[in-house]
Structure 1
């Protein structure tokens, strides 16, 4: 008899859990809000929140997605979810038991575009439409808000969000590399050591810089060497080559006050480990011998 009673009680409990949502008596919050990532073009993301203001009403605002219960928002709570792009109803109803207006009333509908994120603020009226809020304004108001986690969504249209990696930040500079072997003979660095091909390469670079950049407010010329020799001698050789290229850039019409010279020596190789005879190693390390003209694109 005891076992039968227990099973019967469990069945009644299961039916209760599957019934229409009741007013939420317990606040259950998760993590604080952090800016959400973008989603794929096959989804639209919604951040639905309820502000924790002095005028906030008691009780939960039940959120319905396409007339199906999703969650209940108490003041200071938010929910984030994704749906397929297209028309959706997204009502929020304050203390709507026992009528559960969201199941048969469309307070708010919108055509949600794929790849976009929408911020909706629940109203404080019994059946008021939510407000569409700009992201920067919503996130300012959501500082300290916590994720509402006390109810399982019953909205069949709600999907797990397919978040996309944020695009890499643009590099703050652009590099133009000049081959050291085109500019100088092996081991050379002076103004008179620049080859005919090297002078032409620098003239062509000056023309390119003037075409691609409307303003050249800061230019750094960096000399790089191969690993032959000591660290100090390579540092000095790299600097002399950078100073020579800087002089030629000025000869070409760039402002001297915007250009500085520096050396990386042999500390930033681009080749692998080379072996063989000295001549073979010199040829192998050729790509390390270079002068980089770096343009600061932030200015």
Structure 2
């Protein structure tokens, strides 16, 4: 990859001049921020907005983001920005190719009332003439997990505030249940060698990254095939097994809890024959290790 001067790129994006040179460095985490992690909650005095642009939005030009007609950020494909505003009515817009006059500031096509204590997920919609597309939590987290933060652009939006989080930030590590266990299995003797290796690697990563292990939640998720009560029990059994292996790997037992979401938090929807559903539902079968990072 061609190397670019980080300070020069920061100047370019701060001025709205997000160039192809900046885009070429989009995968450089030191320049453009870390990969997305689930955001924490905000107090009732704030509303939080996660605005993102997927890699499927074609074009090398930046999408300029405006809040109440003022510049907030510039997003290339595969980037997101997170910010807070006071509760109430605000306008949002995301415009491509509106330089050099930045007329997007005058064309705010979307206004809504944002409630305090809530987080809103919106994405760039290139076909909506600047109007963002609001999406639900499940879709947003599925799309955001491969995106990187836009960390080097200076917001000029006076409505934007620093978020005052009410919960500790967390990091999620998802382990595929299909890697850990055979279909429908959950016990210690059912876990595969590949699954044990995945858990060992996760323990090594947590120790290497120096993450503060104040609280770790192990959450079992299942697909929607079968009865809800059975899935809830299966998710709990799998979470219990993974928790036990994490403890045996040296993580502190007192800080580890296990719970089940059953099939209540699926990330994909499937249809077809039973065999087709089992294959399609693989992303739903997972165990998430959620680590409090502060």
TM-score if structure 1 supplies the norm length? 0.47
- Over alpha carbons, which structure has the higher Rg? 1
